[in-house]
Each structure stands twice: as C-alpha cells, then as structure tokens.
Amino acid sequence: MQEVENTQTTALLTSEELRSKAIAISQQRGQSVAKRRVAKRWVTWFLWSWILPIIGSLTVLMAVASMSLVYYFGPAKVIDSAQNWLIERFGIERPTTKPDNIALEKPQEKSDTIGNKTTPDQNIGISNAQSVTNSASTVILQFDRDIELQNSKAATPNNSSSSRTNNANSVLLPKGTQQ
C-alpha cells in the first residue's frame, strides 16, 4: 500500500524532460571523455615528437663524444678523468688498499653434483667458485697493474716502449710471481 502511494506521488517525467536530462548527462559524460582522450593523444604526440627524439639524439651525441674522447686522449686518461670527476662530484672514495679479506686463498669446495641446492656456492657447483676466484684475481691483477704502471712511469719516463712491454708482461703474470 505504501509503495502504491509512493509511485502515485512521484511525478513521471515527460518526454521532453527525459530527453533533456538524457542529453545533459550525455553531454557531461562526453566532455570528460573527450578531454581525457585529447590529453592522451597530446601526451602520445609529445612523447613521440619531442621526448624520444631528444633522448635518442642525446644518446647518440654522448656515444660519439665518448668515442672521440677515448680516441684522442686514450682510454686510461678518460677513465682516470671520469673517476676524478666522480670523486669530485659525488665524493666517492677510490679504493686504495688491496681487498685482502677476499677469500682467495680459501680452498675451493668442489661439489660433486651440479645442482645441489644446499648452499649458494654449491648451487652451481664448481663454476661459481671458480668465477668468484677469477674475478677476485682480476681485481688483484688490476691493482698490480696500476702500481706497476706508476712505478714504471716513475722509473723510466723516456723509454715508453720498453715500459709498455713490461707492463703488458706484468699484467699477465699471476700475483706473487717474480719477473
């Protein structure tokens, strides 16, 4: 009974009112959708027309500039300059001591089965332990090479060809080997 009274008191919309309301709702909805779509298209256009070409051009420019620097000044000077710049700009300390605490002399634990997942070293077996040792040896050799480069420069400043040969030999020598 209550529902019947409610339906009777609620006035039905005329066709004109219904049409007007429907069009008004459609208009409001349409404006927001249209704005969003135009904004999306603008962003897409801006990205493809400006941002990506700028990033691409800068990348190419930087690559060309880096190659030119390496070509004209040599890789050692460029790397040294870059390291100096990093130190000045970000305050990164260059490592001065040998990383003796790297477990180089630790005996390698050879696992018999590849894929035994008890520990991380044993996970990939021999190759992992060897790669750790090799990378550590590379670090040591690099330090040795730097020190010997400095020594050779200080000892023989004029004889560049012989020092270069010595340095090349010293790089190949393992740690602790006498020349």
Partner 1 sequence: MNTYNTTERTTARLVPNDRLNAITSLIGEGAVFEGSFHSKDDLGIKVDGQLIGGIVFENGGAIHIGPTGLVENTTIEADYIFIEGKVKGNVIARKSLEISGSATVLGDIVYDALIDIHPRARLRGKIDYRGDLDSTL
Q: Which residues bind partner 1 (CB under 8 A)?
A: 16-17, 19-24, 26-27, 29-31, 33-34, 37-38, 41-42, 45
Which residue in 178, 115, 171 sits closest to 147, CA to CA? 171
State the nearest-atom distance from the C-beta of 45 to partner 1, in Å.
7
- Helices and strands (H, E) in the chain, number of each type: 7, 0
Pick between residue 22 and residue 87 the one whose CB is nearest to partner 1.
22
Pick between residue 16 and residue 88 the one whose CB is nearest to partner 1.
16
Pick between residue 34 and residue 92 the one whose CB is nearest to partner 1.
34
State the nearest-atom distance from the C-beta of 41 to partner 1, in Å.
4
> Residues 6 or more apart from 18 whose CB is under 8 A from it?
none
Answer for the pair 136, 104: CB distance below 8 angstroms, yes or no. yes
State the nearest-atom distance from the C-beta of 19 to partner 1, in Å.
7
Cα dihedral 125, 131, 134, 140 sign: negative
Token readout for 97 is: 């001591």
State the nearest-atom distance from the C-beta of 47 to partner 1, in Å.
13
Pick between residue 29 and residue 77 the one whose CB is nearest to partner 1.
29
